[in-house]
Structure 1
Amino acid sequence: MYMLLKIPFRLLLVYSAIYIVSTMYFQTTIPSERLDSEQLLEVTGTNQIKIDGDRLRGFVQYEGEFIYVTYRISSEEEKMRLERFQWQDAALRLRLAPSELQRSSHPYAFQMAHYLKMNRANHYAEIIEFVHLEEQKTWRSTLESWREQLRKQIEHIFPQDLHWEAKALLIGDKSDFTTEINEQLQILGISHLLAISGLHVSLVMLLIRGTLLRLRMTHETTHYLLLVTLPLYAIIAGASPSVLRASLMAFFVLLFLKPGSKLSPIDALSYSAIALLFWKPTLFYFPGFQLSYGAALTIILSAQLLRRVKNPVVQLFLISLFTQLSLYPILLFHFYEFSVSSIVINILYVPIYSSFVLPSYLIILCTSYFLPLFSEWYVMIFVPIQRFLLQVTGMLAELPYQMWVGGAISVTVMGGITLSILYAFIALERKQWKRAIFIFVIPFILLESRPYWNEELVVTFIDVGQGDSILIELPHRQGVYLVDAGGVLRYEQKEAWKERQSLYEVGRQVVVPLLKAKQMTTLDTLFVTHADSDHMEGADEVMERVRTKLIVYPPGSEQKELMAELLNLADERKVAHQPITAPKQWQVGKTTFRLLWPHQDAIITDDNDRSLVLEIIHGEYTILLMGDLEEEMERQLAKNYERRPGTYVLKAGHHGSRTSTTEEWVQATRPDEAVISAGRHNRYGHPHEEVIERLKSHQVNIRSTAEEGTIEYRFK
């Protein structure tokens, strides 16, 4: 082992780069496969199998390859049995059937195919039956058992409202994190404090070293025991990129910690990265890997600058500033935004967590085994203080304008910004302050001005499954409108054991990522066409994450429960809202908007017939958005509708239902293209065949979100 590390670093780096890049290339270019037919396979379990509600998902291993499997649990008793089972290295005999991998709604939503590639899975399937389950005793399953025992001990000694934080800090388990917790940490830019990293590893190693020395072990024995303990601790702590990076760095430092041998921090960081990527090359694609190594590299390379500062508070501020400036290209590439307030927030939170919160959790956990009375006493003092801190965290996260949305960037742009940051740091080292500031600021100015360069009207029909959501972006960012926000139709009242902790939310997981990728921080108007859940259930999720100036809706729909809840939320957030009726017309720049329906004097008894019908006119182009308007009201509109010359795009009413897109309306509008917003394999059979045939008979080109995903039009 030691002789291996004597290989010239440059040679090792070249060989490693060739291996890692080639492995990543072949791994990510091999197409994912699904089983051609139902098969009975002998597979090995992993610790990446999770149970949420009535669904089991995760990875199993088969002949050196990974398969992503899903399973619907049939009863509460079966769920309890599966939850108790030790999956790591278990021998499983599974009856597997082909399973369709769902396409992502748009490029900025969660990419399941990419996730499978990152985890080296080339197959995906559904479990039809567990034919045989048998736990196996291996070193990995033993470590996983220890981890489970630690998890139970944490749940025993800490109150339930602190379980999520205690598990994250002590064993790297974030399974109890809610959407609200994740968003608070992201807004404040303190997610890294809840990820086990160098600070955690240092504290744990100091604790172990001090204990071993007090037990009168020699320094040499202690040294070697630490070398053995580090990888074990990394696995028990969850083996996340930050854990592995910190543990491996400490491992290499200890390995070279002998007379006449020196290992610089940059060498230790490089060796740890090489070791990790040799083990799992696709780790390079993980945001956690990139952020963890990027932060460590920034701190190491800026050490000379930091040494010039003697004030510890200023030094902490500079560390936070340099780290955020270095990492924001990575954050934009993956998340399209980053926290501006984190630069200041970290000055407060890093000392609190490093000197009080983390040590307290460690002391309480350790003493709970051999000094339980002291542990209980410490808990009584610690818990109220920590609850207060978490309340403050929640209040700080509610403050507005903390996130800067830079939008989606390409790998090329990310590389360019990174090079500019590197050049700015070089200028700082040379004490060229004005040049450094100028170089830092230029990318921000260019990114911030991007939306105003666009000269086109962009209309995006977002794939929200069985629902509607249309995004309208005016030229030069003169306005941003969202017509509906999609939603999930939830029909059945599930039993308690079937309820999932992670619910699918269209607004948060589909609409908001698209808005942020397009650098949209404000909606000028949110049009809610009517109060059906597949059109507006996601509206509250959008409004909570994107500033909204005005909500408009058809009169009468405010009596519906969903609309009433949305308007109450709007009042809480001081968002203006009003009902709107036709005829109404307004113009922004070269774009004209006309509200065609509902008329103020119309007698409406059906919710779908309340739908707002919006016409957008931009030069020779006309776009008609029909909501869920039904046939009778369409016929009324058709009687008085005058078609203008030019190209027409029709958003077909009611997802292509036979009760809309009537012959009269098609003849009156004579669309060139029709867009149908419907879910793939939806239970209603939308779009109905009669509608498809009707449109085809008029030579209308038909496009569907069910087939194409999100559809975007650009009109000059």
Structure 2
Amino acid sequence: MRPPILYLSIAFGLGLSAVLSGRGEWGVVLPVLMGAALLVRRAPLAAACGLMLVAGAMWGGAARRERGASCAGRWTSLQTHSAVIQLTDPVPASGGVTEGVVRAGPCRGALTVRWPDGHPAHGGTTWVVAGRFLPDARGGILVARRVRPLDAVRRGRGALRDRVAERSRRLFGAQAPLVDALVIARRAELPAELRERYTRSGLAHLLSISGLHVAFFAAWLNIVLLRLRLGARARFVAATFVMLAYVWLLGFPAPATRSAVMLAMLDIAKLRQRVVAPRGLVALAALCVLFGDPWSVQSVGAWLSVAAVAAVIWAGRATERHGTVVRLLAPAAAATLFTAPITAYTFGTVAPIGLLANLAAIPLAGLAVPGLMVALLVSSSWLAAGAGLCLALLDVVARVAAALPGGHFIMIAGPRAAAMWLGVLAVAWWLWNSPRRRWVIAARASLIAAVLSLTAVFAAFTRLSDCRCLIVSFLDVGQGDAVALRSPAGRWLLIDGGPRGPQGDAGRRVVVPFLRSHGASQLAGVVATHAHLDHFGGLPAVLDAFDPAFVLEPGEPVPDAGYLGFLAAVESDGAEWRAARRGDRLQLDGVTVEVLSPDSAWAGSQTDINEESVVLLVTYGATRLLLAGDAGMPTEAHLAGQVGHVTLLKVGHHGSRGATSDRWLDELRPAEAVISVGAKNRYGHPAPETLARLRAHGVAVVRTDERGTITFTVSSHGTLAITDVRHHA
């Protein structure tokens, strides 16, 4: 029988989620209360679930009001705000993104700050910070322009985290960012390449403080307390206090809090000599997490944590009577399968290789994490050397696992990817619960062989050519633009990220999976051609997945909440922001990317945002490609006589009638043109007039709405050819 707390926790979470996602509080509460009143006699558990749903809705309403009263909730954009902030983490001289807590002023709460360079700061110190606030869906970021120290004494949690980071740099040198991530959940300085490597190897959970880290900490702490010969109650009090102190130092992240609550409950059950129902334990721990942090119901990390621990508990019970090998592999396999639909839906990637990688990585992490903690605590270079060796071995495991062909699947994130992995989970469940007969063993072997074969075929067909060429891909993002350039040496530049709206986020759904499937681990740069959602909408998802060195955009003030959110994402990522101006040049392994428009005078005089588009000329050898963004005939006239012949044209403004004039085509004389456009779009793009002009000039036209993603390969000898076309699914 399933424990009632399981249903009560689910009901509370549903009510919480409904209100935090935007539904009216009383629109949830009143109908449910009426239903609970009708069911209280005949179905008391259902009535209790109704009341818990109401409690969740009320709690969610309180959380929304609290956030609305915070600085991030009250401040408006395009204005300068100031606050007295105590820093949570240290900030290097190069600046970056940091967290802080507002200590004085008309509002309170946590705040994310983009710290200016040239002002190193210790964690726990208090500063007066002034700058422009950029709101986004996650709360927003304060772009600090002026900072002044108010209290140089390190205090509170920030002071402890600062001392840990300081000691980490002294003891571990180049490994310090990884040490900070493993010990205090400070990931700001982790290289993007390292994060991508751990993601591909199925070990990404090791880089964020999860329940596993708390379990490592608790296990070694228990050994120490046993050696001290403390009584059972004394051990419980000491362990609980130390555990809560550690989770407080971390900032109470949902996975770590869930693990600490579960361990405390297990200790209480042992003291009271009670048997604990595993499902009830997980449910009660999740309920406690939701009480402490209502917004964790929207956290992917929290969902992954609960799904993984539920899978491990189930696997442990289901394999009690099986052999050692099965009991060893079952928890990792179950956790991978149970969390696969979530990671596929959210990130578009699943790494089955993690099943094997974790067999080596978890024991290494079990030694490394406590070793790092002790080394930092006692400041021992000998212990640091031993723990550093474990870290090096852990990185070797990640490198090998990430490099194995077929070790990870990359797909378009969203419901379809999740449905596919739910199907895989259902098949695995059916096979596990089938009778133990020879044909079942044969079926399992056939399934594994089929999966491996499909993986090999998938990998073979999704890799780009290894030639030292410029590869330009016009991605099928629907009604929008996204162009990915890969230099001859394998560096990537992204121009636009596609749309974001009711149809989904093209950045998360298309662009990120494309880049990952073709081996990109970081971006040389990102260009947002202008402030229209069909171009910049998918870029925040790209910034979440990769760390570009810079972001180039027109640099003109646009009072649009979505674009301000994009700029906030740029600031949060820590990428260098640049305003695109005529004459700017970027060299990428022999490829020249030149900005033709806008210049300062032109950008400042335009009332149509399309005419502010960043127009790029890409040159490799004798081949020239023109990427026109949404620039129309006014920009074309402004650039007349300054461009010359090009080989390939990305047609401006999706082929609208207001772009690609006869005079423009007379000057450019392109052999081929690409139109990035959505099928059956409501704008009527591309316009018949534009297509007629292109035909009249003898230009071969290819369209993403007809052919899907289109990839051109440009050799150093000047030849250009379509080498890959991905038709619509």
Aligned-CA RMSD value: 5.9
Q: Distance in 2 between matches of 1:431 and 1:227?
A: 45
Deviation at 1:224, TM superposition (A): 1.8
Q: Distance in 2 between matches of 1:155 and 1:308?
A: 47
Q: Of the candidates 357, 364, 367, which is equivalent to residue 368 of structure 2?
A: 357
Corresponding residue for residue 409 of structure 2: 404
**Structure 1, unaligned stretches of length 5 or more?**
1-6, 102-112, 370-374, 451-467, 476-480, 488-503, 525-531, 546-559, 568-603, 615-625, 642-647, 678-694, 702-711
Matches within 5 A, 1:242-321: 242-312=255-325, 314-321=326-333
Matches within 5 A, 1:403-482: 403-410=408-415, 414=418, 417-418=421-422, 421=425, 424-425=428-429, 428-431=432-435, 433=440, 471=474
1:9 aligns with 2:5: yes
Matches within 5 A, 1:536-547: none
Q: Of the candidates 156, 160, 181, which is equivalent to residue 142 of structure 1?
A: 156
Q: How many residues align?
A: 521
Instruction: Give a deviation string over 1:318-377, Cα, whole Å, max 9, x none.
Output: 3222222221111111211222322222223233333x43344345445x36xxxxx444
In structure 2, what residue type is equivalent to 1:714? Answer: D
Corresponding residue for residue 186 of structure 1: 199
Q: Of the candidates 146, 150, 175, which is equivalent to residue 133 of structure 1?
A: 150
Q: Distance in 2 between matches of 1:244 and 1:533?
A: 39
Instruction: Give a deviation string over 1:607-644, Cα, whole Å, max 9, x none.
Output: 89951479xxxxxxxxxxx9999745988799xx9xxx
Corresponding residue for residue 16 of structure 2: 20
In structure 1, what residue type is equivalent to 2:652? Answer: K
Q: Which moved more, 1:223-232 or 1:419-428?
A: 419-428
Matches within 5 A, 1:677-688: none
Corresponding residue for residue 683 of structure 1: none
Corresponding residue for residue 395 of structure 2: 390
Q: Of the candidates 336, 341, 347, which is equivalent to residue 324 of structure 1?
A: 336
Corresponding residue for residue 234 of structure 1: 247
* Secondary structure in structure 2 of the residue aligned to 1:611: strand
Deviation at 1:295, TM superposition (A): 0.9
* Secondary structure in structure 1 of the residue aligned to 2:485: coil
Q: What is the aligned-residue identity percentage?
A: 14
Q: Distance in 1 between matches of 2:477 and 2:675?
A: 22
In structure 1, what residue type is equivalent to 2:402? Answer: A
Deviation at 1:714, TM superposition (A): 2.1
1:485 aligns with 2:498: no
Matches within 5 A, 1:622-637: 631-632=640-641
Q: Distance in 2 between matches of 1:22 and 1:365?
A: 43
TM-score computed with the length of structure 1 as normaliser: 0.57
Q: Distance in 2 between matches of 1:261 and 1:221?
A: 19
Q: Is the 8 A contact 1:50 1:58 kept in 2?
A: no
Deviation at 1:181, TM superposition (A): 0.9
Instruction: Give a deviation string over 1:216-268, Cα, whole Å, max 9, x none.
Output: 54321221222222221112245333322211211222233333433233222
Q: Is the 8 A contact 2:202 2:350 kept in 1?
A: yes
In structure 1, what residue type is equivalent to 2:17? Answer: V
In structure 2, what residue type is equivalent to 1:351? Answer: P
Corresponding residue for residue 528 of structure 1: none
**Structure 2, unaligned stretches of length 5 or more?**
23-59, 459-470, 499-506, 520-525, 530-538, 547-584, 593-616, 628-634, 677-685, 693-702, 708-729
Corresponding residue for residue 35 of structure 2: none
In structure 1, what residue type is equivalent to 2:217? Answer: V
Q: Distance in 1 between matches of 2:80 and 2:527?
A: 39
Corresponding residue for residue 372 of structure 1: none
Q: Which moved more, 1:274-283 or 1:426-435?
A: 426-435
Matches within 5 A, 1:540-689: 562=587, 564=589, 610-612=623-625, 631-632=640-641, 650-651=651-652, 664-665=663-664
Q: Is the 8 A contact 2:484 2:492 kept in 1?
A: no
In structure 2, what residue type is equivalent to 1:257? Answer: K
Matches within 5 A, 1:333-344: 333-344=345-356
In structure 2, what residue type is equivalent to 1:485? Answer: L
* Secondary structure in structure 1 of the residue aligned to 2:651: strand
In structure 1, what residue type is equivalent to 2:290? Answer: L
Q: Is the 8 A contact 1:405 1:521 kept in 2?
A: yes
Q: Distance in 1 between matches of 2:223 and 2:645?
A: 84
The 3 A distance-change label for structure 1 pair 100 and 10 is closer
* Secondary structure in structure 1 of the residue aligned to 2:705: strand
Q: Is the 8 A contact 2:80 2:131 kept in 1?
A: yes
In structure 2, what residue type is equivalent to 1:223? Answer: F
Q: Distance in 2 between matches of 1:296 and 1:522?
A: 29
Q: Is the 8 A contact 1:147 1:171 kept in 2?
A: yes
Instruction: Give a deviation string over 1:15-66, Cα, whole Å, max 9, x none.
Output: 6235522442247999977526746665654637866824455465577765
Deviation at 1:179, TM superposition (A): 0.9
TM-score computed with the length of structure 2 as normaliser: 0.56
The 3 A distance-change label for structure 1 pair 606 and 55 is closer
Deviation at 1:282, TM superposition (A): 2.1
1:35 aligns with 2:76: yes
The 3 A distance-change label for structure 1 pair 566 and 253 is farther
* Secondary structure in structure 2 of the residue aligned to 1:256: helix
* Secondary structure in structure 1 of the residue aligned to 2:21: helix
Q: Distance in 2 between matches of 1:505 and 1:59?
A: 34
Instruction: Give a deviation string over 1:375-433, Cα, whole Å, max 9, x none.
Output: 444445564565355346435534444321222222x8736854873574265235475
* Secondary structure in structure 1 of the residue aligned to 2:271: coil
Q: Is the 8 A contact 1:34 1:124 kept in 2?
A: no
The 3 A distance-change label for structure 1 pair 445 and 100 is farther
In structure 2, what residue type is equivalent to 1:84? Answer: H
* Secondary structure in structure 1 of the residue aligned to 2:336: helix
In structure 2, what residue type is equivalent to 1:227? Answer: T
In structure 1, what residue type is equivalent to 2:347? Answer: F
The 3 A distance-change label for structure 1 pair 218 and 17 is same
Q: Which moved more, 1:414-423 or 1:203-212?
A: 414-423
The 3 A distance-change label for structure 1 pair 232 and 562 is same
Corresponding residue for residue 714 of structure 1: 705
The 3 A distance-change label for structure 1 pair 612 and 14 is closer
1:204 aligns with 2:214: no
Q: Is the 8 A contact 2:209 2:256 kept in 1?
A: yes
